[in-house]
Amino acid sequence: MFLSQTKYVCDLLKRTDFLGASSCSTPLGSYKLDNSGDILEDVTFYRSTVGALQYLTWTRPDLSYAVNLVCQHLHQPRSNHLGAVKRILRYLKGTIDMGVWFTKGSLGLQAFTDADWAACPIDRRSTSGWCIFLSSNLISWSAKKQPTVSRSSTEAEYRGLAMTATELLYLSKLFKDIGFQLPSLPLLWCDNQSAIHLASIPVFSARTKHVEVDYHFTRELVQQRFLSVKFVSSEHQLADIFTKPLSAARHSLLRTKLTVRSPPFSLRGAKGSK
């Protein structure tokens, strides 16, 4: 099964006059979304376009991080924020027909979680990202700024881990309610050894007491065998695409691993056919 919003993308590019624009390989590039640009006098284009992009992330998880960033500046957009939105549109120009691909496979629930510590240059809050797979199929994902400032990378990673565990718990209960029994414990992959250590061993120092709520929640799930937390190297961390801008090669690789691709078939007739 292939889900895409190709017509919606074409309509959006036509409405914003970007249908003939040159394409680019990543949705964000090197744009710094701080408050250094000039405040926009007319915010109509910015707000309407960003709102349309939010709807598009339903079938385009590769846009989630970039769209989340531009959404954070809806109240007072600046020229550099508008530049980022225009780059997203140029990225869409080169990936018009992409969508999420679902295939048959052995069933099992696993998630990847990551956090970019103090990434926001304005308030130094961290960005959490996660993606959840049923077999090899992506079924849930998120890119979101954390509501509080984290005082260490471990805290930022652990908050992201707890958010992902919450979603896994919800999905597990949902499957149970509809009579579907998962064949194994849900797996939660994290690339931070300190966060995994906290989830496994009940030891706190003075620097980690402020994360005890998230700690107890996640640890109880591990103890009660609702999920298993394991280490994954940063190289194989699929949630990277939800927490930071990436190089073109890295972005393309992770986009493919998220099963975001062009359709393997075409519903359009050959040129010149009747």
Q: Are 61 and 238 in contact (CB under 8 A)?
A: no
Residue with tokens 């930071």: 244
H or E element: which one contains 87?
helix 79-94
Write down which residue in 100, 130, 148 finishes a domain.
100
Position 154 pLDDT exceeds 70 = yes
| 215 lies in the same domain as 200 | yes
Global pTM reads 0.88
Compute the radius of gyration of the chain from its Cα atoms. 20
Is 65 contained in some domain?
yes
- CA distance linking residue 254 with residue 247, whole number of Å: 11
| 87 lies in the same domain as 118 | no
CATH assignment at residue 149:
3.30.420.10
Is 246 contained in some domain?
no
What pLDDT is attached to residue 223?
83
Count other Cβ atoms within 10 Å, centred on residue 230: 12
| 112 lies in the same domain as 211 | yes
Write down which residue in 54, 74, 100 finishes a domain.
100
| 195 lies in the same domain as 109 | yes
| 78 lies in the same domain as 119 | no
pLDDT tens digits for range 121-133: 888 999 999 999 9
Burial degree of 16 (CB within 10 A; 0-12, 13-18, 19+)? middle
What pLDDT is attached to residue 77?
94
Is 24 contained in some domain?
yes
For residue 28, which phi and psi values (nearest 5 degrees)? -125, -40
Position 171 pLDDT exceeds 80 = yes
Domain interval for residue 25: 2-100
Is 63 contained in some domain?
yes
Q: Sorting pLDDT into bands at 50, 70 and 90, what band is 224?
A: confident
| 14 lies in the same domain as 96 | yes
| 80 lies in the same domain as 110 | no
Position 272 pLDDT exceeds 50 = no
162 vs 91: which has the higher pLDDT:
91
Q: Are 196 and 157 in contact (CB under 8 A)?
A: no
Is 271 contained in some domain?
no
| 48 lies in the same domain as 162 | no
Position 176 pLDDT exceeds 80 = yes
What pLDDT is attached to residue 266?
62
| 77 lies in the same domain as 128 | no
pLDDT tens digits for range 178-215: 998 888 899 999 998 888 877 766 555 445 555 666 66
| 90 lies in the same domain as 187 | no
| 75 lies in the same domain as 137 | no
Is 75 contained in some domain?
yes
Mean pLDDT across the stretch 135-141?
94
Polymer length in residues for the chain: 274
| 131 lies in the same domain as 210 | yes
Provide CB contacts within 8 A for 198, sequence distance 6+: 154, 158, 208, 211, 215, 219
pLDDT tens digits for range 17-42: 999 999 999 998 777 788 888 999 99
What pLDDT is attached to residue 263?
86
Domains held by the chain: number: 2
Q: Are 182 and 155 in contact (CB under 8 A)?
A: no
